[in-house]
Amino acid sequence: MLSLEQTRLDKLLYEFQNSIKIQYSGQLNVKNHHNEQWNFYYHLGQIVWATGGNHPRRRLYRYITQNCPQIAINKLLLDVEDTVSDYWDYRLLEILYTKYQATLPQINSIVRGTISEVIFDVAQNLNRHPLSYERHQEIILKAPTDFTNSNIVIQQVQESWNIWSKPGLATFSPHLAPIIRKPEELRQMVSPTVYKNFANLMNGKYTLWDLAVKMNQSLLSIIRSLLPYIRQGIMELIVVPDLTLPTTELKNSYNFTPLKKLTTPLVACVDDSPQVSQLLEGILIPNNFRFINIQQPLQALPILIQNKPDLIFLDLIMPGVNGYELCAQLRRTSVLSNTPVIILTGSDGLFDKVRSKVFGATDFLTKPIEVDKVLEKVREYLPHAQGTCN
């Protein structure tokens, strides 16, 4: 391992070990400079839960399938207001435990596997990006599980990372999926039985993590067995999306009264800053637009679904909610899948814009808010609006 990577690893281990030493309770956020984030939840120095990264839904579904074969995972449902929190997957575990009779050993196994994988995911980023760390003590999860011994988890992941990096595999992401590119060449190299297994599994649908579970093998053995085919161009590792998250319909008892459907266009703003919301309201209302101000981002999705705004301004960075994930949730909701979503961001960086586009954003508006820029966006995406936009 390069000295720079070792320095970053030492810093990562220090953050974990210090959390144990001070018996920390709260959230530890780890983020790279591309705004990819992982969240660790502590209670008295022990890791209760971990989430974030590339494929949080795929990861959780994989561990539920592996540890709870009696549960039909496609029938699991979350309330929509739970799906935009940073710890939605923890809420799903609670549902497994309280409503679907998952046993405590099953839940514990899911928790241990998830934490190990998330730490491994963070460690693998060490050779690519510097990491930053933030603590938030206001978020404390009470797990229905036994606490995970943080020292053991850290030791296991460090050992796994050392094994993974030594053969020069550090640049291979376990979140990529193998796909056969030269089937005829592969058919000549392996037996018909092996080829059939390859064709069924190496189809671009399953990541290396997925395959390790499906084939009951270690991640290292999977990538080692595929490496010769990848280097010859017979197979390729490709990027795949995360899975979708099934949600319940909105409850009729939800305590927010929808605005009446009028002919004047409705604009919504999801931003925890009251100053930003007041600025937008002061711009839009005088120009004959209706306006919804949503400062509690965890309630944003059900409110938006009920009111079906014509355009949404969405802040990227909010407490307890990932703006990227909320945008993706909007796109997976049929009534909002085509609604223009304009990201409010304090950064003019290209990566943020590219990443937001991947998650379904329509456009961007850089803070601070300016009247002309707001009205320009409204004119562009609501060209037939009855607002005056003077």
Q: Which residues of the chain have pLDDT under 50?
A: 1, 249-262, 351, 387-388
pLDDT of residue 209: 95
Q: What are phi and psi of 258, to 5 degrees?
A: -65, 145
pLDDT of residue 260: 40
pLDDT of residue 191: 94
pLDDT of residue 157: 66
> DSSP letter string over 289-349?
-EEEEE--GGGHHHHHHHH--SEEEEESEETTEEHHHHHHHHHTSGGGTTS-EEEEES---
Asked if residue 381 lies in contact with residue 311, where contact means CB atoms within 8 angstroms, the answer is yes
pLDDT of residue 261: 41
Reported as a single tens digit per residue, the pLDDT across 175-200 is 999 999 999 999 999 999 999 999 99
pTM higher than 0.75: no
Looking at the domain covering 266-381, what would its CATH class be?
Answer: alpha beta
Domain ranges of the chain: 3-165, 177-238, 266-381
The beta-strand segments (E) located in 125-205 are 131-136, 177-180
pLDDT of residue 202: 95
